[in-house]
Structure 1
Amino acid sequence: MIPKLEAIKHLFLHEWDPIGVAEFPEASDEYDSYALRVFTALHDGATAQAIAEYLAWLELDHMGLSALSGRGEAIADKVIAIHLSTPTA
């Protein structure tokens, strides 16, 4: 288990959650692939703006939602904070 990745997964499910699945235990891994992609992008130097843009793309284009959740920028800032402060192992 990688603490940074687990923290991002938790953040996506419990704070971003644009489709509202956090309350359903069977959907606990709904955003894991997105979290992994962001985790990898962080190691490649992704910025908060790039992460926010990715989350917006996910919501509008990939998930087909009609409006943004409004949480993308705040979540991106929290992802950067996780990346900078959480130990890797």
Structure 2
Amino acid sequence: MEHKPLSQEQVLYRQIDDILWTEWDPIGINDCEQARDEYYGYLPHVWRLKLQGADAETIAQYLFDVEIDRMGLNGDIEHCRKVANRIISL
């Protein structure tokens, strides 16, 4: 079976997924491979923001809002900014 190469958008999607899992990880579970899908629900929105040319602050604010509103955490805007800058640099 021949595999079709991934599109640039698919590669970007996977890269953002990796960043959310390894670097954002607000609930500290990335050492548990069984929870690998924990952040999949937020991935499409972050990916769309990146494709639409959103700036780092917009992405950081989304991640921060997720931490507070959806996860019930205190949130860490500076960490979200670092993660967002990594995403922007892709």
TM range (shorter): 0.7 to 0.9
Name segments (4+ residues, structure 1) moved above 4 Å.
none
Higher-RCO chain (CA-CA 8 Å, sequence separation at least 6): 1
Of 68, 74, 78, 2:76 maps to 68
Aligned to 2:31: 23
Structure of larger gyration radius: 2
Contact persistence 2:16–2:87 (CA under 8 A) = yes
TM-score between both structures, scaled by the size of structure 1: 0.83
Aligned to 2:3: none
Q: Deviations over 1:18-55 (max 9, x none)?
A: 00110111111111221211111222221111001001
Contact persistence 1:13–1:31 (CA under 8 A) = yes
Report the Cα distance in structure 1 between the residues aligned to 2:58 and 2:77, rounded to whole angstroms: 17
TM-score between both structures, scaled by the size of structure 2: 0.82
**Counterpart secondary structure, 1:59:** helix
Question: Does 2:21 align with 1:13?
Answer: yes
Report the Cα distance in structure 2 between the residues aligned to 1:42 and 1:69, rounded to whole angstroms: 18
Task: Note the aligned Cα RMSD (angstroms).
Answer: 1.5
Return 5+ residue gaps in structure 1 as ranges.
83-89
1:26-37 counterparts in 2 under 5 A?
26-37=34-45
Question: Does 2:64 align with 1:56?
Answer: yes
Aligned residues: 82
